[in-house]
């Protein structure tokens, strides 16, 4: 079989969450013959999917995602030299085609996910419009939001989501070199929810 | 692309849970520009994976699953005529080989998952030993436990888990006919947890 690269972040009480989001809380109950756990977490914890309901109150929920979008070929772009944000000029040279699944590896993946910091690399609003015009099917980034922390330009979410592009956030691309992969990213099937933690892997032939 | 059959149960406050397990509780917070949710649920909610830690205190957790086991070819057996439990005699005739992923479709899938009932079809202890001897890599059943409700024979869990066989429970096989599929079943990456809800799909070429 192909090599599997797990690009999901672990979920436990040490997991960093975006400011304002619920912290992870897990209580394990050891019974006589079996063990189970009570889990509390947010819909945007660790590696997760954003769906239209995240920013549009009448948008569809995570259970309505077209699973064909979250399974299939993808490209990882090396954007580790980018400063501040992914801009149109960074994307233009990549010859992006309709329907593509695009993941951007930035210096966020090199810095790691053990502490939250404000000046993470995000997706610029014009670049989000550019990707929407290209009609890609999926966009993934290696930090907890595609949008600048506290930024007023909401297009990184709205332009992608209103055009049917699935957003993955919190991808750990530290072990993925730039190139082509087979992408599998599955959220839980939460009814009509704004997002869901997801397990995401890349297969390399 | 292949046809995708989603064999996962939806997760919301109406989701049936095994008696004694935490109920699902979800609170959605509508902010000015975005929406998120606080989720409370158990590690064995809806469609989920059991790992050794579920029944062996020192067993490994769900983050340590070999992902190669949960991705690949599988067979769905039609066992909808079976009464009470899956027995050795039901499995013997299937010519099961080492490393196979085996899912059993029983009348549980026909009855649905909207109410909990005690007399669901489970895996018999001898049959669990039989599967362990066959060295399959994965076993999936279409109700919330492989074990008889209240039953003292713990082998359905212990024989499979101590032999490295991943257990999927709560599969909705109502839309899957018997036959061969490509199986993808991904749990969340909970650090050292006894199990995890999972999204599980079958691809049919």
Res. A39: pLDDT tops 70: yes
| pTM exceeds cut of 0.80 | yes
Chain A environment of B46 (Cβ under 8 Å):
189
CA distance A26 to chain B (A): 9
Give the pLDDT band (50/70/90) at residue A195.
Answer: very high
Res. A205: pLDDT tops 90: no
Predicted complex: ipTM over 0.95: yes
Say what the pLDDT of residue B184 is.
Answer: 98
Kindly list the averaged pLDDT for each block of 10 residues, start to end, along chain B of length 205. Answer: 92 97 97 94 98 95 98 98 97 97 98 97 98 98 97 96 97 98 98 98 93
pLDDT digits (tens, 9 = 90+) for A147-180: 999 999 999 999 999 999 999 999 999 999 999 9
Chain A environment of B188 (Cβ under 8 Å):
8, 11, 188, 197-199
Q: What secondary structure letter does DSSP report for B82?
A: -
Q: What is the dihedral of CA B173, B176, B180, B186, to 10 degrees?
A: -50
Q: Could A10 and B189 be called an inter-chain contact, meaning their C-beta atoms sit closer than 8 Å?
A: yes
Domain ranges of chain A: 3-10+42-204
Q: What secondary structure letter does DSSP report for A164?
A: T
Q: Which fold has domain B3-9+43-204?
A: Glucose Oxidase; domain 1 (3.50.30)
Say what the pLDDT of residue B1 is.
Answer: 61
What SS3 class is residue A119? Answer: coil
Provide the residue count of chain B: 205
Paired residues of B102 in beta bridges: B75, B139
HSE value, Cβ hemisphere, 13 Å, CA-based, for A140: 33
Q: Residue B205 and residue B195: Cα distance in Å, rounded?
A: 30
Which residue matches tokens 């799909």? B201
Which CATH class name applies to A3-10+42-204? alpha beta
Cβ atoms of A5 and A204 closer than 8 Å? yes
Res. A197: pLDDT tops 70: yes
Of chain A, the percentage scoring pLDDT greater than 90 comes to: 97
pLDDT digits (tens, 9 = 90+) for A57-76: 999 999 999 999 999 999 99
- The closest CB to that of B38, out of A11, A26, A40, belongs to A40
Give the pLDDT band (50/70/90) at residue A99.
Answer: very high
Q: Is A26 on the interface with B (CB under 8 A)?
A: yes
CA distance A16 to chain B (A): 14
Say what the pLDDT of residue B205 is.
Answer: 77
Chain A environment of B63 (Cβ under 8 Å):
10
Reduced 3-state DSSP string for B101-170: EEEEECHHHHHCCCCCCCCCCEECHHHHHHHHHHCCCEEEECCCCCCCCCCCCCHHHHHHHHCCCEEEEC
Query: What is the CA angle B67-B182-B16, rounded to 5?
Result: 75
Of chain A, the percentage scoring pLDDT greater than 70 comes to: 100
Angstrom distances, CA of residue A205 to CA of A1, A2, A6, B61, B74: 8, 5, 14, 28, 20
**Quick one: which of B155, B100, B146 has its CA closest to B122?**
B146
Q: Could A188 and B11 be called an inter-chain contact, meaning their C-beta atoms sit closer than 8 Å?
A: yes
Chain A environment of B30 (Cβ under 8 Å):
57
- The closest CB to that of A42, out of B1, B10, B39, belongs to B39
CA distance A5 to chain B (A): 10
Q: Is the sign of the CA dihedral B196, A41, B189, A15 positive or negative?
A: negative
Say what the pLDDT of residue B32 is.
Answer: 86
* pLDDT (mean) for A87-110: 98
Res. A52: pLDDT tops 70: yes
Structure tokens at B172: 């909705």
Chain B environment of A194 (Cβ under 8 Å):
28, 34-37
Say what the pLDDT of residue A1 is.
Answer: 61
Which residue matches tokens 């550019």? A130
For the packed helices B125-134 and B155-162, what is the interaxial angle rounded to 10 degrees? Answer: 10
Res. A186: pLDDT tops 70: yes
pLDDT digits (tens, 9 = 90+) for B122-171: 999 999 999 999 999 999 999 999 999 999 999 999 999 999 999 999 99
Q: Is A30 on the interface with B (CB under 8 A)?
A: yes
């Amino acid at each position: 079989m192909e090599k599997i690269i797990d690009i999901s972040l672990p979920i436990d009480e040490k997991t960093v969450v975006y400011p304002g989001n619920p912290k992870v809380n897990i209580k394990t109950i050891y019974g006589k013959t079996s063990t189970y756990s009570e889990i509390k977490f947010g819909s945007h914890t660790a590696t997760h999917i954003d769906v239209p309901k995240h920013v549009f109150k009448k948008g569809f929920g995570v259970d309505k995602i077209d699973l064909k979008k979250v399974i299939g070929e993808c490209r990882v772009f090396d954007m580790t030299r980018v400063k501040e944000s992914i801009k149109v000029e960074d994307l233009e040279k990549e010859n992006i085609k309709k329907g593509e699944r695009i993941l951007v590896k930035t210096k966020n993946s090199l810095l790691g996910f053990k502490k939250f910091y404000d000046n993470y690399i995000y997706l610029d609003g014009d670049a989000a419009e550019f990707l929407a015009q290209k009609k890609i099917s999926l966009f993934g980034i290696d930090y907890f939001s595609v949008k600048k922390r506290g930024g007023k330009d909401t297009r990184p979410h709205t332009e992608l989501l209103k055009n049917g592009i699935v957003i993955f956030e919190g991808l750990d691309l530290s072990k993925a070199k730039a190139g082509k992969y087979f992408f599998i990213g599955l959220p839980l099937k939460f009814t009509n929810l704004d997002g869901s933690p997801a397990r995401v892997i890349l297969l390399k032939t």
